[in-house]
Structure formats: C-alpha cells, structure tokens
Amino acid sequence: VKREYITGTSDIEDIMFVGVEVEHTPAHGMTTLFVAGKHNTQDIIDLANINNCTHIYLGANQSFTYKDEADITEWEFLILGLLKEEFHVTLDIDIKFYPHILDTLSLFKDETDFILMLSVKLPHM
C-alpha cells in the first residue's frame, strides 16, 4: 500500500507513525502511535512513550492479517502487553477475519481500553 507522508511516499508495509486519532471512538483526539504490520512489543512501547502517545492503533493501513492460530497468538501477546502498560489499544481488522478471531476477542471483552475497529469494504463506493 502506497501512502503519502510529510516526508514523501512510502510503500513499506511495516511502519509506525504518530498522529491524532480522528475516528469517533473512545480514543478520539488522542495522540496515537499507528502501527502497520507486526513489531516488537517493547519497540512499540518505547516509541509510544517517546512521542507521548496514550493510544496505539494496531492494524493501521489495513495491515492486520490472520494466517493461523500461531499468528493470532502473537497479536494476543502484543495487545495484552500494551494494555498492561495502560495504553488505549485499537485493533483494526477486516471483517472477513472476524469469525476467525472470536476467541481472541473474547480475551479483551472486559478491557475498557481495548477498541475493536471493523473495516468493511463496500463495493462500488
């Protein structure tokens, strides 16, 4: 996915960048670390803290993928690690993955700082 940034165009899929959350979720207006692709939990925490981010948006640029149970386990540990550090955490997933990760999502049902963002592609729009 090619994206335009202040510093130019990037087609790198695994990037992190800081901005303000614009979606009208509980994290609206928060300084946010947007994470595209998978990254080391501590690297995410460090970059978020350096940039005074209170919210971390996982799956940015429609980068969430589900391949198998091992893959989703990595996402679980990442989300749990970020919630433990008291960040608000959004996970943005394509709706096609929703049925495959219901067990994972149930882990976070009581977490008030967890936000699920479902992306739905509408044809001809």
Domain coordinates in residue numbering, the chain? 16-119
**pLDDT score for 124:** 82
pLDDT at 8: 53
Dihedral sign of CA atoms 114, 35, 25, 100 in order? negative
Rounded to two decimals, what is the model's pTM?
Answer: 0.86
pLDDT digits (tens, 9 = 90+) for 6-56: 445 555 567 999 999 999 999 999 999 999 998 999 999 999 999 999 999
Look at residue 97 in the predicted model and tell me its pLDDT. Answer: 92
Q: Please report where in the chains the tokens 């394509």 appear, as a residue.
A: 94
